[in-house]
Structure 1
Amino acid sequence: MLVEILSLCIGVLFAVSVIMVRLKASTRPTNAKKILLPPIFMSTGALMFLVPACRVSWKEAMIAFMIGMLFSILLIKTSKFEWKNNQVYLKRSKAFIFILLGLLLIRTIMKIMVEKSVNLPQTSGLFFILAFGMILPWRIVMYIMYKQFITNQKAIS
């Protein structure tokens, strides 16, 4: 029980730190590298599946990934760009923080429910897949939107 509570607290702490980083990111210009590198860096977390205790079935992995993709729609909808001082910035959305907090709440509730039927390492694996399923499409779409935004700005200039 203590391990589950500790893992939950650590997860919430990481999520809050991600929210803080995202809010701060809107104060600095962005570029393609800043958009595409997070899912690449995150993909190294898949090394956890080298440990047999973390492995889940393909069916469970696909369900977790699809739930993540579903969650990514909210992030995609709130990601917009703006042109300031001849640079591209992520436009801060008033809804973004509430969406991130809502997703955190939903993921926390899901984690508590899943932990009852799956061991802790497998739960970690499933939620890694869910998070990756959320971040990968979001960042790919963001990159496409960024490229279109740059092209439109060049056409205007």
Structure 2
Amino acid sequence: MGNGIPPYLHVTVTLGTLLMALMFVVIRIRSAKKPTNAKKILMPPAGMSTGFLMFIFPPFRIPLTWGLAAFATGALLFAWPLIRTSRFRVRGGDIYLKRSKAFVSILFILLAVRMLAHEYVEHFITLEQTAGLFFILAFGMLLPWRVAMYLKYRKLKEQSSTSAAE
């Protein structure tokens, strides 16, 4: 199928993706300086879920099996390193996200793999279907990562409140 994407648009989208990734890293590093809570952990997947509205429009629709494969790839391959490097610490009765030295590297490696896969896939399906497929992949990465973070947060909160009560 392939796409006749103008080169300037392709470069613009690639640079935009890199800029968004860099902004995410900066926001993530800055957020480690402030206490976290369940809302801060769970809001990103809730906010991102509105992106599924793109599938209302027929050009974005993909077969269910493609969507399930994309979600599974995000959940099993991309979420795992993020789950492993996301940790919390208690300081002064508050819970903070603990910065991992590997997190930024892992994030950029995952971004590079995702962008290379995107380059490959867009030669076979439409631009809209590629966008939908990689949105589902990203959601498949984000949802399990944030659920795992929430479970770790909740466990640490229970432990800290138990030890404070004793």
TM over 0.5: yes
State whether structure 2 residue 64 is matched by structure 1 residue 58. Answer: yes
Give a deviation string over 1:92-122, Cα, whole Å, max 9, x none.
0111111101111111111111111111111
CA distance, structure 2, for counterparts of residue 16 and residue 119 of structure 1: 27
Q: Which residue number corresponds to residue 52 of structure 2?
A: 46
Distance in 2 between residues matched to 1:8 and 1:123, nearest whole Å: 14
- Unmatched segments (≥5 aa) in structure 2: 1-5
Please report the TM-score for the alignment, with normalisation by the length of structure 2.
0.90
The residue type equivalent to 1:117 in the other structure is F
Number of aligned residue pairs: 157
Separation (CA, whole Å) in 2 of partners of 1:8 and 1:53:
22
Give how far 1:77 is off: 0.5
5+ residue gaps, structure 1, are none
Alpha carbons 1:55, 1:122 under 8 Å: kept: yes
**How much does 1:66 deviate?**
0.7
Write the distance in 2 (CA, Å) between the matches of 1:96 and 1:78. 6
Report the Cα distance in structure 1 between the residues aligned to 2:30 and 2:65, rounded to whole angstroms: 37
Whether 2:109 is the aligned partner of 1:109: answer no
Secondary structure of the structure 2 residue equivalent to 1:81:
strand
For 1:123 and 1:60, the matched residues in 2 are separated by: 11
Q: What corresponds to 1:79 in structure 2?
A: 86
Which position in structure 2 is the counterpart of 1:119? 126
Residue 132 of structure 1 corresponds to 139
What is the 5 A alignment of 1:2-41? 2=7, 3-41=9-47
**Identity of counterpart residues, as a percentage?**
43
Deviates more, 1:12-21 or 1:29-38: 12-21
Contact 2:59 2:129 (C-alpha < 8 Å) held by counterparts = yes
- State the distance in 1 between where 2:161 and 2:100 align: 24
8 A contact 1:30–1:88 mirrored in 2? yes
Runs of 4+ residues deviating >3 angstroms = none
Q: Contact 2:89 / 2:95 at 8 angstroms: preserved in 1? A: yes
Structure 2 contact 45–139 (Cα < 8 Å) conserved? yes
2:97 and 2:48 map into 1 onto residues whose CA distance is: 21
Give 1:94's match in structure 2, choosing from 91, 101, 124.
101
In 1: Cα distance, 2:155 partner to 2:23 partner:
30
